[in-house]
Every structure is written in C-alpha cells, then in structure tokens.
Amino acid sequence: MGEIKKGANGGFSGKAGSVIGSKWRSISYIRGLSEKSNKPATTAQLEQRLRFALMTSFLAPLKDLLEKSYSSRDMTRATGYNLSLRDNLNEAIKGTYPDFEIDFSKVVISRGALIGLAGEKFISEVPDVVDISWNSFSNGLAGFATDSVYIVLYNTTRKFHVLSVGQAKREDGTIQITMPQGFSGDTIEGLLFFVSEDGRYSRSGYLGQTTMF
C-alpha cells in the first residue's frame, strides 16, 4: 500500500484500474487490488489465523475502551484497538498449534505512566459476587486517591465480559461486583487499571483467576 504525500490533485478515493484510493486519519493511500489464490494455506498461515481469531474474540468487545486506554501510544497510523491487538498477539498467546490459549497474565489492555496494580486479591465466596481489592497507595504525582478504577472480568467458559468502569476509586482499595446469574463454577479472569481525573492511565495489571462460587 503506497502513501500519497504530494500530487497535483491530492489523494483520490475509489477504484482506478488496478488500484484503489482511500483516506484514513487524513492520510491518503493507494493499494493494488488483491488477487484470489487457489493455493492451500500453509501451516504458518493457519497458525497465524488461529492466533488472530483467538485474540480478537477477547479484544473486539473491548474496542471502544481500548481506543482510550491506548491513547498514550502513537495512534497516527494505528488505532488503540489495533495497537493492543498487535501487542497481545506477540506477547499473550501460549501453547503450540493448534492448541493455543490466551495467557491472561500477560494481556495488556491499558498503557500509561500512572502507578499500576499492586497487592491485588480476587475471589468469589458467595453466589454471583466477586470481591476485588488492591493497594490504595498514591503519591500525588503518578497516582492519586481519586483515580478511577477500571476492571475487566472475563468468563472464559462462556466468552462473556463484565466491566466495572469508574465504580470505585483508588483510595477505596476494594470493590464488590455482582455478576450475571448462572456463572457458578465458571472460570473468571480479571484485569484492572487506573484512570486519573485528567485522563492519564496506568498499565493494566492482572488480578488473577477465580472460580465463581
């Protein structure tokens, strides 16, 4: 795909012969028409497709959140979602083909300079409820008592996300989240990050894994 930097008439959109013109984030591009191939996919291609499908099944429902939580990265040529997808494809998939799985301890859904998660506890001791706690330390420079807490809980059994967005502050040190009914015995993975009042983010941290009571 070629980038149009200069031209008598600027960029164009639509099809022109064997090329297509388009614009994304105020940048004009041209690309050739793709050609269909009858060749069977290689093992490497099948492996990459499976890795991609696995990670997108988890990240796609979080797309709107990732557009904000990755805002500290260079987004001139990629969206926050695409940056997160790239990072997690490279770092957060374990196993060998075709038995891949997500390594949630390495998943990153937020990046930034705020103080991140520490002293975490994540447990379900009563039906339909999880209890989460963290170290509420703040220093007034890179972490504030008023930082909002963002939590992503993922039911790996049912492929279902539960989000808690700003329902607790860093200073609270704890939150109790009511889950949908019918999750008893299901495995839940947890991630947490902080967001300051002026829009700064921490790197997301792994809460761990728990089984619903």
Q: Is the pLDDT of residue 8 over 50?
A: no
Owning domain of residue 32: 8-38
What contacts 172, CB < 8 A, 6 or more positions away? 136, 149
Same domain? 128 vs 89: no
Vertex 159: Cα angle to 153 and 160 (nearest 5): 50
pLDDT-wise least confident of 70-74, 104-108, 143-147, 148-152: 70-74
In a domain, 78, yes or no: yes
Q: Give domain status of residue 1, yes or no.
A: no
Between 20 and 111, the more confident residue is 111
Q: Tens digit of pLDDT for each residue in 9-62?
A: 555 556 555 555 555 555 555 555 556 667 787 888 899 999 999 999 999 999
Please check whether residues 119 and 200 belong to one and the same domain. Answer: yes
Query: Does residue 199 sit within a domain?
Result: yes
* Residue 60 DSSP code: G
Of 83, 109, 135, the residue at which a domain comes to its end is 109
Helices (H) and strands (E) in the chain, counts: 3, 13
Tens digits of residue pLDDT in 133-179: 999 999 999 999 999 999 999 999 999 999 999 999 999 999 999 99
Show which of 86, 109, 132 is a domain's final residue: 109
Distance (Å, whole) CA 11 – CA 27:
8
207 domain residue, yes or no:
yes
Co-location of 177 and 98 in the same domain: no
Query: What does the block give as tokens for 81?
Result: 């979602």
Domain of residue 211, CATH code: 2.60.40.10
CB atoms within 10 A of CB 3: 10
Residue 20: inside a domain, yes or no? yes
Domain-located, residue 74: yes
C-beta separation of 179 from 129 below 8 A: yes
Crossing angle (nearest 10°) for helices 43-59 and 80-91 = 130
Residue 74 confidence class, pLDDT cut points 50, 70, 90: low
Q: Answer with the residue of higher pLDDT: 102 or 37.
A: 102
